[in-house]
């Protein structure tokens, strides 16, 4: 019994052990109590403990030479603000000693977020490889893109798509204004030119798109007054209608050809130019990011291991407005190729549960579900780890 107790005690003293996929570290921190402000000192001590945990994770993940060569980058992107990397923590002890606030805590680092940031900063190579993102917005004969010499400024589509792709774990190459609009289309048809891009940027894919944006003003009709629920005392005289036609292609830079094509057409109405235009771009991105990320993942893993065996899960869908909407969801999900079998598992006001069998990784299933276009809504996963298998309904505006 003594040997067993000693073994457990030694195990508990280990600075690191794994719980699931997330590393857990036993860390400590301290901060000086200034002007009797205990709350501030406690917060600073916890931040120091978080910083220690992130530093331990970096030491485990990266070789010493790489850490030394990128010390400034690591300080800026990881250690100066360690809180986003913390999945959760448990306070073991806290006390005041003289004028210091001391804490000891178990800190669990979010491995998914941590590795994604390592990829985005270029400290490790993404298993899904890097990609170039070039989307040219055309409005009133004006072309904008971060990659165009004549513009050198990222447009809203590029910004939104870049954020979404990074969230899905892809590394988006930092743009350089090196392309000329008049020769870009022709260059895309030459495999040698695409190969040069691949070698220069160490990228596997090029996402290339053009978006034709148009808007017009018109007098507000009585029907539009009712639809927009305008107040009589504060009624605009004009209404704006924005329309965008987006054509998008994925080029495999190693193979030298187009491997995916899609088109989207969205229309949005409103009263203020910039908010209405922004809403249009958000709708475009929401309508294609699921297909885009799912396609990229399949392409990047095309030559890897065969698909995993079938799995079963019970997923919840919240935010239902009617029984008819639940039937739309069930019929829509049955059309997804990833789902092999699906049946209604439970029903409550505003929520249904479905039991389904699927093949491949859960992340691929999520992307397939979020990319499916229901008539007037889409399904988005909840970010909360406690509700991993829960989706919410987001209406399409």
Asked if 370 and 290 count as a contact pair (C-beta separation under 8 A), the reply is yes
Q: What is the pLDDT of residues 98-142, one digit of tens each?
A: 999 999 999 998 887 788 788 778 788 765 568 899 999 999 889
d(CA 154, CA 147): 8
Higher pLDDT, 25 or 236: 25
Average per-residue pLDDT for the chain = 82
Quote the pLDDT of residue 160: 92
Higher pLDDT, 122 or 286: 286
Start and end residues for every CATH 3.30.1660.40 domain found in the chain: 12-117
The fold for domain 12-117 equals Dodecin subunit-like (3.30.1660)
Q: What is the pLDDT of residues 183-202, one digit of tens each?
A: 888 888 888 888 888 888 87
DSSP-H helix ranges across 30-135: 38-61, 64-69, 71-74, 111-120
State the architecture of 127-225+237-300 in CATH terms.
2-Layer Sandwich (3.30)
Regarding pTM above 0.85, the answer is: no
Half-sphere exposure of 345 (CA within 13 A, CB side): 15
Start and end residues for every CATH 3.30.70 domain found in the chain: 310-395
Asked if 67 and 74 count as a contact pair (C-beta separation under 8 A), the reply is yes
Start and end residues for every CATH 3.30.160 domain found in the chain: 127-225+237-300
Q: What is the pLDDT of residues 332-363, one digit of tens each?
A: 888 887 788 888 888 888 899 998 888 777 77
Q: What is the pLDDT of residues 202-260, one digit of tens each?
A: 788 999 999 999 988 887 666 555 555 444 445 566 788 999 999 999 998 877 788 89
Buried b (16+ CB within 10 A) or exposed e, 28-52: ebebebeeeeeeebbebbbbbbbbb
The answer to whether domain 310-395 has CATH 3.30.70 is yes
């Amino acid at each position: 019994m003594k040997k067993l107790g000693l073994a457990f005690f030694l195990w508990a003293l280990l600075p690191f052990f794994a719980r699931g996929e997330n590393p857990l570290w036993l860390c400590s921190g301290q901060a000086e109590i200034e002007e009797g402000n205990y709350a501030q000192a406690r917060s600073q001590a916890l931040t120091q403990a978080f910083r220690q945990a992130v530093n331990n994770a970096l030491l485990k993940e990266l070789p010493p030479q790489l850490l030394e060569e990128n010390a400034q980058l690591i300080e800026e992107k990881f250690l100066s603000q360690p809180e986003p990397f913390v999945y959760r923590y448990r306070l073991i002890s806290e006390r005041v000693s003289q004028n210091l606030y001391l804490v000891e805590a178990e800190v669990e680092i979010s491995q998914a977020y941590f590795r994604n940031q390592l990829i985005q900063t270029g400290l490790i190579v993404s298993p899904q490889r890097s990609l170039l993102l070039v989307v040219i917005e055309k409005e009133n004969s004006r072309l904008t893109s971060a990659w165009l010499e004549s513009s050198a400024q990222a447009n809203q589509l590029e910004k939104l798509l870049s954020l979404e792709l990074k969230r899905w774990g892809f590394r988006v190459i930092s743009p350089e204004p090196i392309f000329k609009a008049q020769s870009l289309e022709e260059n895309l048809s030459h495999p040698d030119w695409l190969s040069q891009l691949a070698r220069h940027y160490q990228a596997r894919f090029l996402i290339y798109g053009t978006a034709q944006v148009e808007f017009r003003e018109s007098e507000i009709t009585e029907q539009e007054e009712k639809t927009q629920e305008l107040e009589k005392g504060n009624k605009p005289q004009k209404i704006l209608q924005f329309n965008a036609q987006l054509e998008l292609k994925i080029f495999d830079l190693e193979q030298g050809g187009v491997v995916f094509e899609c088109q989207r057409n969205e229309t949005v109405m409103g009263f203020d130019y910039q908010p209405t235009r922004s809403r249009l771009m958000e709708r475009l991105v929401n309508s294609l990011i699921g297909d885009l990320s799912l396609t990229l993942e399949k392409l990047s893993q095309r030559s890897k291991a065969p698909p995993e065996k079938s799995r079963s899960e019970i997923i919840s869908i919240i935010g239902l407005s009617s029984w008819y909407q639940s039937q739309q969801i069930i019929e829509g999900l049955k059309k997804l190729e990833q789902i092999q079998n699906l049946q209604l598992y439970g029903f409550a006001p505003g929520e249904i549960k479905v039991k389904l069998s699927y093949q491949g990784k859960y992340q691929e299933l999520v992307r397939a579900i979020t990319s499916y276009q229901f008539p007037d809504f889409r399904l988005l996963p909840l970010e909360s780890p406690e509700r991993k298998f829960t989706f919410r309904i987001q209406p399409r505006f």
